[in-house]
Chains A and B, each alone.
Chain A
């Protein structure tokens, strides 16, 4: 038994390593809503010259959120595939990704709510010869609340469209990570590492810790829903618990009653 304990201790200590993660801003800004839609700007003409179409991009949303950000039970953030955002505003394609603060060098990409993905050819965003695949900017910040974010996919060349589908999904998931408030990490196992890696299938531990920090779930009852709002942030104005949240409590109570009530019934 002592040997087993020592072996167990050695195995656990060998894995005592921790990945890092960062935020995009000093205040830890994040979406206030737990449910955020991810949409693709459906521009007439699109960015066909780069090989990127809106249809292609919209097909990447679901795997990018399903296989990455929506898998974490300790996070309350729920991303939704919002499909197309129909627009005729060509600034989505041609505009500069910048805060609407009067300092933009060219017309900016329009303000959005939630997360909007667009192909983009602006030379300030993607200078000639740039190896950037995509850029993301939360465009509407109010205090520490992100109201919306734009993900601009580099359409000045075929660097994005030339990637395999799995890598395109990973790039999009990475940019969504920026949109929800996460910065880069120095750990290559994490999705928020700055460059594309050979195989990216799931989040790393740093990504999980980061999204848990920004969107901590509060007493999730077995997945039925949270019983509380935002306790760690003062619980002021948190969401009302969904009715299903009670089912978890009741099931637990019923389980105990069933197990112990029956066993302990007085014998005659």
Chain B
């Protein structure tokens, strides 16, 4: 089987599970309780946050400092899809604002899916996964930098390259009316202790109720 078909099959597996879950959800509803598909979307959320990547694993000065709080701005949006009274599916897209220097730009997109368990009126827990799409692109060119006893020309990247990681995510969220604060964690390379890294986001959110329901 061509390697390129592998992720499609993986996505198909996921889709089958989601469809199965949706079908089961329909099965438990009485006819008078059934709602249109669009009514399953309860809220849409708008997010603003600070994303700390690879917590404590990135050196930021010449003294060996490796900060645990190193936020980069992030925006995003999501939707809450009702599954049961206490469970929601929360698809979400976040974007860490681009960082650029010398014409080299980096973008990080998070395509996420959480299962959110409503623990009470004012809090919920999330478990899910993200596809982290990390794109780096440059326009080429050279820069002159110190090199040993003199200087040399070094080259800037001239292509666009994208790294894609799957992460295992956990989060906790507290609500205050339509607003919420969330700590969302993302574990890279869960199965490999040498490459495992933890990133997290502190997110402030506004949730807009699509149907005006309480």
Contact surface of A with B, Cβ cutoff 8 Å:
1, 4-5, 8-9, 11-13, 15-26, 28, 66, 70-75, 130-132, 135, 183-186, 188-191, 194-195, 197-205, 208-209, 212-214, 216-224, 227-229, 231-233, 235, 238-241, 244-250, 252-253, 255-257, 259-261, 263-267
* Selected contact of A189 from candidates B21, B62, B102, CB within 8 Å: B62
Contact surface of B with A, Cβ cutoff 8 Å:
3-4, 6-7, 9-10, 13-14, 16-18, 20-21, 24-25, 27-28, 48-50, 54, 57-64, 66, 70-74, 83-84, 86-87, 97, 99-102, 104, 106, 115, 127, 129, 131-132, 134, 136, 140, 142-143, 145-149, 152, 154-168, 176, 179, 181, 187-192, 194-197, 202, 204
15 new A-B contacts, CB < 8 A, other than A12-B50, A74-B134, A184-B154, are: A1-B204, A8-B202, A22-B155, A23-B156, A26-B155, A28-B159, A73-B188, A184-B147, A202-B59, A213-B161, A217-B165, A219-B166, A247-B191, A261-B20, A263-B86
Bound CA span A260–B127, Å: 12
Q: Quick check: A189 and B145 within 8 Å, CB to CB?
A: no
Q: Quick check: A264 and B145 within 8 Å, CB to CB?
A: no
Count A-B contacts at CB 8 Å.
278
Q: Quick check: B195 and A71 within 8 Å, CB to CB?
A: yes
Bound CA span A20–B7, Å: 32
Bound CA span A209–B101, Å: 12
B178 to chain A minimum Cβ distance, whole angstroms, is 9
> A70 — which chain B residues lie within 8 A by C-beta?
194-195
Given A18-B101, A202-B58, A213-B157, the answer on whether A223 and B49 have CB atoms closer than 8 Å is no
* Selected contact of A16 from candidates B14, B97, B168, CB within 8 Å: B97
Q: Quick check: B10 and A19 within 8 Å, CB to CB?
A: no
A163 to chain B minimum Cβ distance, whole angstroms, is 15
Q: Quick check: B87 and A212 within 8 Å, CB to CB?
A: no
> B83 — which chain A residues lie within 8 A by C-beta?
260, 263-264
Instruction: Name the residue on A nearest B70 (C-beta).
Output: A15
B83 to chain A minimum Cβ distance, whole angstroms, is 6
> B102 — which chain A residues lie within 8 A by C-beta?
20
B26 to chain A minimum Cβ distance, whole angstroms, is 9
Instruction: Name the residue on B nearest A187 (C-beta).
Output: B101
Give the 10 A-B CB pairs with smallest separation, nearest first.
Answer: A223-B189, A199-B64, A183-B154, A223-B192, A22-B154, A264-B24, A216-B163, A260-B21, A197-B62, A223-B191
Q: Quick check: A11 and B14 within 8 Å, CB to CB?
A: no
Q: Quick check: A224 and B59 within 8 Å, CB to CB?
A: no
11 contacts between A and B (CB under 8 A): A12-B50, A26-B158, A28-B158, A73-B195, A130-B148, A221-B10, A223-B196, A241-B3, A257-B17, A263-B84, A266-B28
